């Protein structure tokens, strides 16, 4: 009942207007550090100046992940309050490699892979702000402004025309070696057995120039990044200040987001092995919903503040009601629906909740549908798979979960696999009588633990 009331409630609350935006971002846990003079930034926001904010990502993988979403939420909060936002894909910097937060040098990608990644990530940026804007409008939240503009750029577009001798003669004297050497990303690698290549050492120069270019071209005065980007961003501020005579009238700022972790200290990201990706072809809306539905009680408040635009006072109400009856998981349901709607579009949250209720709810729920109805629901959610007749359970689990056969065998023997509408636990990896568990002789439901579910058509 509480969940229904929250969803039906027309949110007329006023989000923190421009003067309190920095305070709200802090209250949401979105800010780790802000460069000085912070008071000047707050004054510009309070005076309702239209600012331009940017963040970037190198195409080192096909998709952004939830950890990348935290800086993007800072941009989204600026965007819906009328400020302009820019996302940068590092078509040039991606060829060099950023040493920040790394103990070893990145493995270079083939050019065709890198170029594909540029397209994928650019599309993910567009989807995020398109869906984010609709999500904000759908909540009927007033910020006192219309949304700003969204622009995508690729830094290869300007770096391809830069000549090294011209660059060094123009900017070299404004780039201080002492400052470069003092960066944490440099110091940590200099003392490591792997060392640091010249390519990675100069990465901060490239990112610094990107900030200068956007400062001059778009009037960009705020760069947002993860906390490990502080050195690279402030290198840009230093270059801008040295190259801009009137800098004090319009200084540049750095805002960094904290490293995203759960209450238990678990990190998010590709290297942590628990990444949830923003590319819908990798992780569906249902995957997003199910991931956040399984959030620990201790993380519900934190994630509602970071990953949604629900007003803070309403979040307090949600959390209070949730903690009174945590077994109902109402807080997780709201969190999962909101994030799914934000990332995949309005309506995908409710649709994913329906699938979750079918696959992980009581047996009577799934039995109330025909196999044809279920296949239609699962197909729309992009989680309907095609079965191979004669396939063993071990082969099926390995294929669906994209894991090795030994890993699939381990999951089966541990009792993590449930089959059919009755959710039978099968612990024999070589079990191949899957047709015995088909619904209407054509559909198999397979659950992996508490998060993953597959529908297989035969």
Q: What is the pLDDT of residue 195?
A: 67
Token code pair at residue 188: 């940590």
Distance CA 73, CA 88 (A): 15
Q: Is residue 218 part of a domain?
A: yes
Q: What is the pLDDT of residue 83?
A: 97
Q: Which of 202, 237, 257 is the last residue of a domain?
A: 257
Is 201 found in the same domain as 135? yes
Is 154 found in the same domain as 296? no
- Rg of the chain, C-alpha, whole Å: 24
Q: Is residue 10 part of a domain?
A: no
Best CA proximity match to 186, nearest among 235, 143, 144: 235
Domain count, the chain: 3
Range of the domain at 103: 18-257
139's CB contacts (< 8 A; 6+ apart) are 11, 309, 310
Is 247 found in the same domain as 146? yes
CATH number where 209 lies: 3.40.50.620
**How do residues 83-141 score in pLDDT, each as one tens digit?**
999 999 999 999 887 655 555 555 678 889 999 999 999 999 999 999 999 999 998 77
Is 151 found in the same domain as 25? yes
Is 324 found in the same domain as 177? no
Best CA proximity match to 320, nearest among 312, 331, 328: 331
CATH number where 422 lies: 3.10.290.10
**How do residues 252-264 score in pLDDT, each as one tens digit?**
999 999 988 877 7
Q: Is residue 5 part of a domain?
A: no
pLDDT tens digits in sequence order for the chain, 458 residues long: 444 444 444 443 445 444 489 999 999 999 999 999 999 999 999 998 999 999 999 999 999 999 999 999 999 999 999 999 999 999 999 988 765 555 555 567 888 999 999 999 999 999 999 999 999 999 877 666 789 999 999 999 999 999 999 999 999 888 887 777 777 767 776 777 776 777 777 889 999 999 999 999 999 999 999 999 999 999 999 999 999 999 999 999 999 999 888 777 777 655 545 689 999 999 999 999 999 999 999 999 999 999 999 999 999 999 999 999 999 999 999 999 999 999 999 999 999 999 999 988 888 898 899 999 999 988 877 778 999 988 999 999 999 998 999 999 999 999 999 999 888 999 999 998 998 999 999 999 999 987 788 999 99
Q: What is the pLDDT of residue 105?
A: 53
Is 41 found in the same domain as 119? yes
Q: What is the pLDDT of residue 96?
A: 85
Is 210 found in the same domain as 92? yes
3-state class (DSSP) for residue 225: strand
Is 394 found in the same domain as 294? no
Is 229 found in the same domain as 292? no
Q: Phi and psi of 85, rounded to 5°?
A: -125, 145
Is 168 found in the same domain as 85? yes
Q: Is residue 379 part of a domain?
A: no
DSSP calls for 227-272: GGGHHHHHHHHHHHHHH-TTGGGS--EEEEEPPPB-TT--B-STTT
Number of residues that this document lists for the chain: 458
Q: Is residue 88 part of a domain?
A: yes
Q: What is the pLDDT of residue 197?
A: 74
Asked whether the whole model's pTM tops 0.95, one would answer no
Omega before 37 within 30 of 0, i.e. cis: yes
**How do residues 194-223 score in pLDDT, each as one tens digit?**
767 777 778 899 999 999 999 999 999 999
Q: What is the pLDDT of residue 364?
A: 86
Q: Is residue 145 part of a domain?
A: yes
Is 442 found in the same domain as 319? no
DSSP calls for 388-450: -TT--HHHHHHHHHT--HHHHHHHHHTT-EEETTTTEE---TT---GGGG-BTTTEEEEEETT
CATH number where 344 lies: 1.10.240.10
Q: What is the pLDDT of residue 26?
A: 97
Is 326 found in the same domain as 194? no
Q: Is residue 11 part of a domain?
A: no
Token code pair at residue 373: 């109805």
């Amino acid at each position: 009942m509480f969940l229904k009331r929250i969803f039906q409630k027309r949110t007329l609350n006023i989000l923190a207007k421009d003067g309190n935006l920095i305070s709200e971002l802090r209250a949401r846990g979105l800010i780790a550090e802000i460069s000085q003079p912070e008071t000047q930034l707050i004054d510009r926001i309070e005076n309702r100046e239209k600012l331009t904010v940017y963040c970037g990502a190198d195409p080192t993988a096909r998709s952004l992940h939830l950890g990348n979403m935290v800086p993007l939420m800072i941009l989204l909060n600026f965007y819906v309050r009328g400020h302009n936002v820019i996302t940068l894909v590092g078509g040039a910097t991606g060829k060099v490699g950023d040493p920040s937060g790394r103990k070893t040098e990145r493995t270079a990608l083939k050019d065709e892979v890198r170029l594909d990644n540029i397209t994928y990530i650019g599309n993910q940026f567009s989807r995020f702000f398109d869906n984010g804007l609709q999500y904000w409008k759908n909540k009927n939240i007033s910020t006192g402004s219309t949304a700003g503009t969204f622009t995508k750029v690729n830094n290869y577009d300007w770096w391809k025309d830069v000549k090294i001798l011209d660059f060094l003669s123009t900017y070299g004297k404004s780039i201080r070696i002492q400052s470069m050497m003092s960066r944490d990303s440099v110091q940590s690698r200099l003392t490591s057995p792997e060392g640091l290549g010249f390519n990675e050492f100069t990465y901060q120069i490239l990112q610094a120039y990107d900030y200068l270019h956007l400062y001059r071209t778009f009037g960009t005065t705020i760069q947002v990044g993860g906390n490990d980007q502080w050195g690279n961003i402030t290198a840009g501020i230093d270059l801008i200040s040295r190259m801009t005579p009137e800098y004090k009238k319009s200084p540049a700022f750095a805002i960094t987001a904290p490293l995203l972790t759960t209450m238990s200290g678990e990190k998010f990201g590709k290297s942590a092995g628990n990444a949830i990706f923003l590319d819908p072809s990798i992780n569906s809306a249902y995957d997003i919903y199910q991931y956040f539905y399984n959030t620990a009680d201790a993380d519900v408040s934190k994630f509602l503040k970071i990953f949604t635009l629900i007003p803070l006072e309403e979040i307090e109400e949600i959390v209070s009601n949730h903690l009174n009856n945590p077994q109902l998981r109402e807080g997780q349901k709201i969190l999962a629906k909101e994030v799914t709607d934000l990332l995949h579009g309005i309506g995908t949250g409710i649709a994913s909740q329906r699938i979750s209720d079918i696959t992980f709810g009581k047996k009577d729920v799934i039995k109330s549908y025909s196999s044809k109805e279920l296949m239609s629901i699962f197909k729309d959610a992009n989680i309907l798979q095609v079965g191979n007749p004669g396939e063993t359970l071990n082969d099926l689990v390995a294929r669906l979960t994209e894991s090795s056969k030994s890993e699939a065998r381990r999951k089966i023997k541990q009792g993590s696999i449930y089959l059919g509408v009755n959710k039978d636990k099968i612990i024999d990896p070589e079990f191949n009588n899957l047709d015995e568990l088909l619904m209407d002789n054509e559909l198999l439901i397979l659950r992996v633990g508490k998060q993953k579910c597959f529908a297989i058509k035969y």
